[in-house]
Amino acid sequence: GEDVEQSLFLSVREGDSSVINCTYTDSSSTYLYWYKQEPGAGLQLLTYIFSNMDMKQDQRLTVLLNKKDKHLSLRIADTQTGDSAIYFCAETPQGNNNDMRFGAGTRLTVKP
């Protein structure tokens, strides 16, 4: 099975908050990431959190990490139509490497 799991779809109205959830299995993960992918494009790094933190805020984005439950979430405040994309969460394991394990991605649709 996958190491990182996400729900596949999320639909919200413009102006609402979006919350995208992710669970992971490797408790030794050091960094957890959120990437955004628009159609036909590569991955854009949105934010990341080190595993000894439980929250990180960056403008409209808030990342919450519950290490005990291995649960990561990304909250987008005041969601705009330009936020429509696929959002991937990813983890890197402990150790000297940058091997990232990705979830399947959550497709966020923002309706006007």
Partner 1 sequence: KAGVTQTPRYLIKTRGQQVTLSCSPISGHRSVSWYQQTPGQGLQFLFEYFSETQRNKGNFPGRFSGRQFSNSRSEMNVSTLELGDSALYLCASSTVLAGGGEQFFGPGTRLTVL
Residue 82 has phi, psi (to 5 degrees) of -70, -10
Pick the binder of partner 1 from 42, 55, 68, 112 (CB under 8 A): 42
Q: How far apart are CA 40 and CA 94, in angstroms?
A: 31
Pick the binder of partner 1 from 11, 25, 44, 81 (CB under 8 A): 44
- Looking at the Cβ atoms of 14 and 37, the one nearer to partner 1 is 37
Pick the binder of partner 1 from 24, 34, 48, 87 (CB under 8 A): 48
Asked if 87 is part of the footprint of partner 1 (rule: CB under 8 A), the reply reads: no
The CA angle 16-101-91, to the nearest 5 degrees, is: 60
Closest CA to 3 of 21, 29, 39, 36: 29
Asked if 43 is part of the footprint of partner 1 (rule: CB under 8 A), the reply reads: yes
- Residue pair 80/110 in contact (Cβ under 8 Å)? The answer is yes
Binding segment for partner 1 among 31-39, 53-61, 62-70, 71-79 (CB under 8 A)?
31-39
Pick the binder of partner 1 from 24, 33, 34, 87 (CB under 8 A): 33
